[in-house]
Amino acid sequence: MNDPQQAPWDGLVVGVSLATLDGGSGYGEVEDAALGWREGTIVHAGPRTALPADPNALSGAVIDAGGGWITPGLVDCHTHLVFAGDRAGEFEQRLQGMGYEEIARAGGGIASTVRAVRSAGEDALLEQSLPRARALTADGVTTLEIKSGYGLEFDGERRMLRVARRVGEELGVAVRTTYLAAHALPPEFAGRADAYIDAVVEWLPRLHAEGLVDAVDAFVERIGFTAAQARRVFEAARALGLPVKLHADQLSDGGGAALVAGFDGLSADHVEHTGEAGVQAMAAAGTVAVLLPGAFHVLRETRLPPVDAFRVHGVPMAVATDCNPGTSPLLSLRQAMQLACTHFRLTPEEALRGATVNAARALGLRDRGVLRPGMRADFVHWAIARPAELCYWLGGQLATSVHAGGRRIA
């Protein structure tokens, strides 16, 4: 597959440096490099000198990038991107002193977005969601996770998952769908959380049979669901062979990280309050810690996730936008990387790995996140002089081209 004499290739970029991330540490830097691909798969990611004297013998589509860097395509492994309306008013309320839980208990928060989503048709929901997805892809995202969880009824959850699939089809970006009906208690089930979990478990095989579910998530927290209730959802997912992940330990240490690790979960997300026992359980299970600095920033939190403990125990750390209308209205994964460095003290290399190879792992994807022959041809060309600039600049347009599966999408 990586024999440079095999032809024809679908595309070849020369005159560029690569941050391959191929290896356990460092950027995997290759200067004066070339990247070639065929049928959506990388066939060469290495020195330009390894190519024949005439690159046109390999591909009729040779691009001289004229400098800059290519990295793997970014993977946003935690988003709530499909929703209707916004919650800008809550942003103002928080600035005036109201807390997240206080807003939620007053009928705001997730409940307000649920009302907006339930009143929106599928096409309207798609129309509102596409600009957010386009913003993410324009800034380097080639794989995108999208959760349900704002319908909280069968038709609403189904509509959200269908729109998530359509986002991928419209933009040519890979979308992984996550069933998050156990996100909040809908008003019609007030005081009957166990009965609602019965419904969540009953809906899951129906939606899975329609090809709408790639993974299952839940929210374990004082204002969410108990660990016992999430366990029931996870057992239903396991019966269908579906992987699980969890909104864990965001506002308190409720044992969420250990719970999801006990199910060999793909990831525990947020994890600001995860204790030593949870970290060790994640390490033993290979569960990824997904850091969400956007929500930390917007909510002006002060409790840092246990980054040092994750490092000591070898827990992979991913970084995601958590794009949602209430606590993380963030439309740039690169900005999330910058916030992870600023707030959580990740290094730029850790942040880049967190938005590529570790984020792919948090979705159960082993065919992307690294520039290596045989991997999916997801890559971004950046107008930068060194990889650390991806976490240095606050905003701005650094991506000059974005390819997913060898096809340019931005």
Domains of the chain: 11-72+370-408 (2.30.40.10), 74-362 (3.20.20.140)
Mean pLDDT value across residues 349-362: 98
Question: Would the annotation count 250 as a binding residue?
Answer: yes
Give residue-wise pLDDT tens across range 178-191. 999 999 999 999 99
Residue-wise DSSP of 251-306 = SS--SHHHHHHHTT-SEEEE-TT--HHHHHHHHHHT-EEEE-HHHHHHTT------
Question: Would the annotation count 326 as a binding residue?
Answer: yes
Give residue-wise pLDDT tens across range 162-217. 999 999 999 999 999 999 999 999 999 999 999 999 999 999 999 999 999 999 99
Q: Say which residue the tokens 């900005």 belong to.
A: 335
Task: Answer whether residue 260 shows pLDDT above 60.
Answer: yes
Question: Would the annotation count 96 as a binding residue?
Answer: no
Question: Would the annotation count 366 as a binding residue?
Answer: no
Q: Categorize the per-residue pLDDT at 3 as very low, low, confident or very high, splitting at 50, 70 and 90.
A: low
Give residue-wise pLDDT tens across range 12-66. 999 999 999 998 889 999 999 999 999 999 999 999 999 987 887 887 789 999 9
Question: Would the annotation count 5 as a binding residue?
Answer: no
Element (DSSP H or E) covering residue 33: strand 29-38
Question: Would the annotation count 324 as a binding residue?
Answer: yes
Q: What does each C-alpha distance from 176 to 6, 79, 129, 150, 208 come to in angstroms?
A: 33, 10, 15, 17, 13
Question: Would the annotation count 270 as a binding residue?
Answer: no
Give residue-wise pLDDT tens across range 325-355. 999 999 999 999 999 999 999 999 999 999 9
